[in-house]
Chains A and B, each alone.
Chain A
């Protein structure tokens, strides 16, 4: 399996090379990320991206794109199950899907346009906000209906 590859750097026209390292450790962490995200009900991207960044040593933009790919694939499996069971209400899912598509379009353009440094800062701020939200929810502050 080839695990040394490259991705295009926007603007410069160059391709940045990278090597995937410590694959077994990465696989183990991804398993842990999957278990934790299922337990806590949070998007696994916030757990997968640091794991790919630190253990597999992927560039942050590659980690973000790979995380999107993985989430799409895993969500498709559960999405298909819910769909065939008739659990998806078009009145609710329609606006949610449209909003998500619009947000994803903006996010994909931002991912290409902004520097890796700003992407890292944005990611850390998002992680902190998520942590604060979970702490507040655990302390019973704010809307906690989803925890009941």
Chain B
């Protein structure tokens, strides 16, 4: 069966791979700058921000994956699965919110 849209697995694989590489590169760059930054003209604060940005991206990727899956299922008119993705997204949001409140 041919569809107008690329297979979901392929889109997810590309997004996750590119995201992981960018996140890892940011972390590696931040760590390198933290140890050698003075000679490169990079402040420790900027180096720490680079590492933090990489970590944030790695945390965001699984959430982005669920959003993409929900959108892809919706475009394929697979409403039960898009509803499931939305439900998972709601649970992640609620869990993160509760995690911040319960401290």
Contacts and interface: CB of A to CB of B under 8 A. Distances in A.
Contacts, number: 88
Interface residues of B, number: 37
A98 B96 CA distance: 23
Interface string A107-144: 00000000000000000000000000000000000000
Contact of A93 (B55, B65, B92): B55
* Chain A interface SS verdict (over half): helix
A94 B103 contact: no
A74 B93 CA distance: 10
Given A85-B100, A88-B55, A97-B54, A80 B63 contact: yes
Question: Chain A interface residue count: which class?
Answer: 20 to 34
Contact of B27 (A72, A75, A81, A98): A98
A80 B62 CA distance: 11
Contacts of B61: 72, 76
A78 interface: yes
A126 B38 CA distance: 44
Interface of A: 1-2, 69, 72-85, 88, 90-91, 93-95, 97-98, 101
